[in-house]
């Protein structure tokens, strides 16, 4: 069982042999996510069938979770990354068929939560909206010694210990077809329940707040975070006066004459969104008191593809459509899993956003998100 390997798996995403997706609660009880399971069961079953019938299981995995060969700073359980994943996360120049570098080897073993964080935040520069890694746990009942790509992490001490697959649920989907609302929502769910940056002690390495981008070929660095690009500087003062100054210096320029400002916003509504779930209620009340809240009718153009404005749109009520330059139009409905994160948040924007029904939405500035993400 997963709890026999991971003492406290709260928040971790799990795929069952029946194709269900679920998460462990705070008291370590596994709960099936019915909405996610309904949306992805057919995909999950096909994925598992392909995985079980493949002679190259590493194509479906990002790694395995198991006992460490010796006690680490984070404890006795680690996430061991497959070689192909290390080459993605820490690219270097040279032929791909050569052995891993010392730097890559040093990063093959991670704490479980740090490893999941890296995978969730990794982006493909050519397809920045695509889900490159969507890591979920899967229990095949195997031992750590049964993973060929992890041989250098395995010793007689831990070779016979039980292990879990960490599967990449989007591994069999072409990269140019992975930018779907349902996988984005699943990643956000995993991220929001696993990663709690505000609880980390100061003085340790800072974590990413936006996109983890690979280094250009030929560039090698031990500074894992050297290539991080932050959207907001976090230099505002989160006070009533500070927010007034922020809004005055960055006026909202919506793309539709139909938008109508409405207020006030109940601070508890912010709890629906993943970025605000762990923020103190007093801080939420301050943000809500200055929030820019709008309603707009069907057909109103809310966001334009290609723009890089500093505002993040959170859908409260109604339905919207997201239209990319190429590919199918997506629909997001208020109160759904897909609406728990800002809409079309990558910059420059990859989607044009239009109201399908009458909508109510909230605009939050990048600097506010940067402050909340950095300081909780």
User: Mean of the pLDDT values across residues 147-172?
Assistant: 92
Is the pLDDT confidence value at 208 over 80?
no
> Is the model's pLDDT at 165 over the cut of 90?
yes
Report the relative pairing of strands 292-296 and 75-81 from DSSP bridges: unpaired
The whole-number pLDDT of residue 120 equals 85
Model confidence band, residue 367 (pLDDT cutoffs 50, 70, 90): confident
Q: How far apart are CA 287 and CA 373, in angstroms?
A: 14
In DSSP notation, 303-361 reads: E-TT---SEEEEEEESEEEEEESSS--EEEETTSGGGGS-BT-SSS-SEEEEESS-EEE
Instruction: Judge whether residue 362 has pLDDT over 80.
Output: yes
In this prediction, residue 160 carries a pLDDT of 93
Using one digit for the tens of pLDDT, what is the confidence trace for 219-255? Answer: 333 222 222 223 333 444 577 888 888 888 887 776 6
Q: What is the pLDDT of residues 30-49, one digit of tens each?
A: 999 998 899 899 999 999 99
Of the two residues 229 and 120, the one the predictor is more confident about is 120
| pLDDT at 277 > cutoff 80 | no
Checking if the pLDDT of 4 tops 50, the result is yes
Q: Answer whether residue 209 shows pLDDT above 70.
A: no
For residues 119 and 167, what is the distance between their CA atoms, to the nearest angstrom?
Answer: 11
Q: Which domains does the chain possess?
A: 2-199 (no CATH), 240-375 (2.60.120.10)
pTM value? 0.55
Phi, psi of 106 (to 5 degrees): -65, -25
For residue 218, pLDDT beyond 70: no
Q: CA-CA distance, 90 to 100, in Å (whole number)?
A: 10
In this prediction, residue 77 carries a pLDDT of 93
Q: What Å distances lie between residue 89 and 57, 105, 115, 227, CA to CA?
A: 19, 12, 11, 12
DSSP category for residue 4: H
Task: Tell me which of 118 and 145 has the higher pLDDT.
Answer: 145
Residue 343 has pLDDT above 70, yes or no: yes
User: For all residues of the chain together, what is the average pLDDT?
Assistant: 80
| pLDDT value at 217 more than 50 | no
**If pLDDT is split at 50, 70 and 90, which confidence band does 96 have?**
low
């Amino acid at each position: 069982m997963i709890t026999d390997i991971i003492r406290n798996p709260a928040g971790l995403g799990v795929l069952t042999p029946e194709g269900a997706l679920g998460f462990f609660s705070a008291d370590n009880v596994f709960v099936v996510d019915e909405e996610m399971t309904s949306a992805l069961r057919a995909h999950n079953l096909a994925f598992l069938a392909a995985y079980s019938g493949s002679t190259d299981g590493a194509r479906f995995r990002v790694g395995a979770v198991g006992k460490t060969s010796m006690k680490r700073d984070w404890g006795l359980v680690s996430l061991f990354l497959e070689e192909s994943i290390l080459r993605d996360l820490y690219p270097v120049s040279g032929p791909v068929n050569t052995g891993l570098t010392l730097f890559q080897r040093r990063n093959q073993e991670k704490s479980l939560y740090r490893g999941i964080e890296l995978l969730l935040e990794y982006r493909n520069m050519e397809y920045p909206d695509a889900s490159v890694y969507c890591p979920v746990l899967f229990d095949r009942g195997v031992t750590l010694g049964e993973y060929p790509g992890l041989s250098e992490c395995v010793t007689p001490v831990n070779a016979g210990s039980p292990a879990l697959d960490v599967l990449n649920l989007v591994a069999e989907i072409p990269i140019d077809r992975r930018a779907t609302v349902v996988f984005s929502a699943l990643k956000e769910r995993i991220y929001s329940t696993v990663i709690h940056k505000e609880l980390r002690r100061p003085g340790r390495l800072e974590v990413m707040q936006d996109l983890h981008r690979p280094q250009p070929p030929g560039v090698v660095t031990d500074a894992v975070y050297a290539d991080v690009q932050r959207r907001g500087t976090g230099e505002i003062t989160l006070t009533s006066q500070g927010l007034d100054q922020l809004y005055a210096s960055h006026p909202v320029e919506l793309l539709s004459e139909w938008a109508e400002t409405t207020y006030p916003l109940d601070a508890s509504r912010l709890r629906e969104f993943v970025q605000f779930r762990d923020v103190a209620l007093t801080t939420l009340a301050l943000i809500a008191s200055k929030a820019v809240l709008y309603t707009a009718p069907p057909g109103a153009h809310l966001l334009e593809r290609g723009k890089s404005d500093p505002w993040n749109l959170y859908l409260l009520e109604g339905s919207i459509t997201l239209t990319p330059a190429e590919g199918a139009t997506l629909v997001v409905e208020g109160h759904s899993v897909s609406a728990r994160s800002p809409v079309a948040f990558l910059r420059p924007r990859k989607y044009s956003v239009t109201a399908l029904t009458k909508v109510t939405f909230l605009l939050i500035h990048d600097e506010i998100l940067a402050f909340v993400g950095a300081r909780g």
